[in-house]
Chain A
Amino acid sequence: MAMATDVPKNGFRLSMLVYDTRYRSYTIQLVVLVLFAMAVAWLLNNTVQNLEARGKEFNFGFLWQRAGYDIGQQLIPYNNDDNHFRALLVGLANTLVVAFWGCIFATVLGVIIGVLRLSKNWLVGRLMTVYVEIFRNVPLLLWILLTYVILSEITPAPNAFRLTDEMIAAGTAPAAEMMFFDSVAVTNRGTNIPAPLFERGLGSVDLGFMTLNLTFLAIVAVIAGSVYVNRRILASARATQEATGDRPVTWWKSILVLFAPVLLLFVMLGFHLEVPTLKGFNFSGGILVAHPFTAMVIALSLYTAAFIAEIVRAGIQAISRGQSEAAFALGLRPGRTMNLIILPQALRVIIPPLISQYLNLTKNTSLGIAVSYLDLRGTLGGITLNQTGRELECMLLMMLIYLSISLSISALMNMYNNSVQLKAR
């Protein structure tokens, strides 16, 4: 007791900020904070001064000026009279569509390769190892360029499809022919595929900033409805099975529910295919899937699949051998063991790193500029930036957009991750 009261109650002295461990951490943090704030202030000040020195101002008004340039691939209506913001949206759509298909193909391919890499078949296992190592260790840009050059160099020019009068007279065929009953033409510019058209389409509604295609909406609604009804059928079948032990036959119901309404809708709308035909310099009609797009999807998928394969392999190897041994002991075949026992557990390990791969793939779409693919980097960060000279604004906007895309993907995937995590009750 006496000891405790003996402790001198010294007042707070300034030197304690440096020598007393209780306060030193606060001092250090405060100093770092001040330095950091000064660095930020200096950067901002520097930027403002440099902009002033060049007689430039910081504003986003240029986005509403006429763009004046054309874009090869447009998923939303656009022409050169639209403004730079519209061009930005076209570029954003191009970025997203490549990222979307890239993620899907990369996942499918990556899971298959990751599983096959663990195959007991020596040859299959080694082949997959070679694949993974080759794709992981060569830069993505080279893969994109290689795919593009291969696509555009080995395919014939549109001219080669032409059947001239002399050819008919001589009885020779053109140098190149269309595939799949004369409906698909692969040229050195892209792949021309038939376009779905509706004779009695439902038209579209103009919302001001975009137009809503009612036909498309109707199809999506019908498909969603079919899928929902099918799930109800399966659920009721499962309930019956659990109650009685007999599972009612549902396959014909499923097929009917899934396909009949859509087919009926297609017939009602007057569905037909518009086949591309050679007219003038190029094929017209149908849909042109340009090679830059194809090259981007192929290269991004193959490259990212190698990384996903490694993630899947790691996930599977993280599951204890006892799990598969137990499954085999129950008489499950290897395929079912993988699907029902191993993969569901491995997903918990696989998904977090998988999110990073999706983010990487999405950001890597900005390499599309190398093959003239006009994505966000090509429109906003390329032509718009150049024509308007607004480097700072365009770059900031681009960073903001890529950041938003990444965070959205991350958030969605985290939701999925939470749903497959082990539920501890």
Chain B
Amino acid sequence: MKKSVFFGALAATTLVSGLAAAATLDDIKARGELICGSNTGLTGFGAPDASGNWSGFDVDLCRAVAAVVLGDATKVKFVPTTGETRFTALQSGEVDLLVRNSTWTFSRDSELALDFVAVNYYDGQGFMVKKDLGVSSAKELDGATVCIQTGTTTELNLADFFKQNNISYQPVTVADDSEAQRQYLAGACDAYTTDASGLAASRATMPDADTHIILPEIISKEPLGPVVRHGDSAWGDVVRWTYYALLVAEEKGVTSANVEEVATSTADEEVKRLLGVSGDMGAKMGLDNDAFKRAIAAVGNYGEIFSRNIGEGTAINLARGLNALWTQGGLQYAPPFR
């Protein structure tokens, strides 16, 4: 009797945990909150302000997903993760979704059993040094001490870059961006290397931003994007199409300001489907039909998110570059919304 209860409980637990792994979307709806793995604090991409409100480029994507799934962009709980802990947090189900400047690589996609659903920022690894060091190229960094975040792809690129150029360096491994900044500013390392966007974000928060330069070399491709667990394609689709909806919105000129007006007046069939005026795109994913409209109303389209958080005019001051829409000569390209 006792034994059968034990095994019964065991079977039930296994079943429940098995289901939980499969239907993230239902879990979130039942919970009424999206748990989003974020950076521990990278200005412009994802950082809490003094009163604990998160904001940033990656954070806005989390908010868009919350708006799509729950109808409320504020129902997001942000869990700060370091380069070391992020994938474990996602795999173990601690977070539903990871939007945290994570590079899409072969081994992460295959061996780590993760799914990168899209690329929300095309980046590359760069170097930042102090101006008075008198260095103008990364190839002049022979013998330098370099701060590098551990558990990242940049760590491996760095080793490869110095080897290919036949120069040496001394690595100083740090856990996250804030520690890297502290070490770099204290002079414990000559150069700080990470994704170029991360460097720009770091520099923006430094007290004497113009005394640091980002070297021209970009030594790698770093496609950054949202990550979900492998094996729950339905949930992956929700995140992917939330992101593409924001891209399509920019392409079609739908903004947070005019979304209501466009919804009533547009003659464009794709925009109608996007905003849930016609068709049943949302319903096909187990969402409300106007789910994507809510996301656009809450955080704006991709271009708005970009220019509000990291674009030219902000402290981080990144040009659209590769991240311009395909119609503007960039790489950001959404599949047709039909």
Contacts and interface: CB of A to CB of B under 8 A. Distances in A.
Interface string B140-157: 011111000011000110
A387 B143 contact: no
Contacts of A386: 83-84, 87, 150-151
Interface stretch (A202-210, A280-288, A331-339, A417-425): A280-288
B145 A374 contact: no
A109 interface: no
B141 to A, nearest CB: 7
Contacts of B21: 53
B253 interface: no
A89 interface: no
Nearest to B3: A38
Nearest to A55: B113
Contacts of B187: 157, 159, 188
B318 interface: no
A348 interface: no
Contacts of B50: none
A247 interface: no
Interface in A182-215: 188-189
A119 interface: no
Interface in A60-98: 68-72, 80-81
A55 B144 contact: no
Contacts of B188: 152, 188-189, 291
Interface stretch (B69-77, B168-176, B219-227, B264-272): B168-176
B96 interface: no
Contacts of B190: 281-282
B286 interface: no
A55 B171 contact: no
A56 B113 contact: yes
Contacts of A189: 145, 170, 172, 188-189
A188 B91 CA distance: 39
A281 B144 contact: yes
A54 B113 contact: yes
B186 A188 contact: yes
Q: How large is the interface on A (under 10, 10 to 19, 20 to 34, 35 or more residues)?
A: 35 or more
Nearest to B157: A68
B134 to A, nearest CB: 10
A389 B112 contact: yes
B159 interface: yes
A80 B189 CA distance: 20
B143 A68 contact: no
B170 A72 contact: yes
A80 B159 contact: yes
A382 B14 CA distance: 30
How many B residues are at the interface, by size bracket?
A: 35 or more
Contacts of A49: 14
A383 interface: yes
B173 A372 contact: yes
B314 interface: no
A70 B21 CA distance: 36
A69 B155 contact: yes
Contacts of A153: 186
B29 interface: no
Nearest to B84: A386
A374 B155 CA distance: 14
A293 B113 CA distance: 36
A152 B91 contact: no
B143 A281 contact: yes
B111 interface: yes
B231 A374 contact: no
A38 B6 contact: yes
B160 interface: yes
B40 to A, nearest CB: 15
B160 A68 contact: yes
A36 interface: no
B10 A42 contact: yes
Interface string B111-129: 1110000000000000000
A282 B159 contact: no
Given A382-B151, A386-B151, A374 B88 contact: no
B163 interface: yes
B193 to A, nearest CB: 12
A408 interface: no
B91 A54 contact: yes
22 contacts: A42-B10, A54-B229, A55-B113, A55-B231, A80-B160, A81-B163, A157-B187, A189-B145, A280-B144, A281-B133, A282-B145, A291-B188, A372-B183, A383-B155, A385-B84, A386-B83, A386-B150, A387-B107, A388-B107, A389-B87, A389-B111, A389-B112
Interface of B: 6, 10, 14, 17-18, 21, 83-84, 87-88, 91, 107-108, 111-113, 133, 141-145, 150-151, 155-156, 158-160, 163, 169-175, 183, 186-190, 229-231
Given A55-B230, A372-B172, 14 more contacts: A54-B91, A55-B113, A69-B156, A71-B171, A80-B160, A159-B187, A279-B143, A280-B143, A281-B143, A281-B190, A382-B84, A383-B155, A387-B155, A389-B112
Which 6 A-B pairs have CB atoms at the shortest separation, nearest pair first? Answer: A386-B151, A80-B159, A280-B143, A389-B112, A157-B187, A281-B144
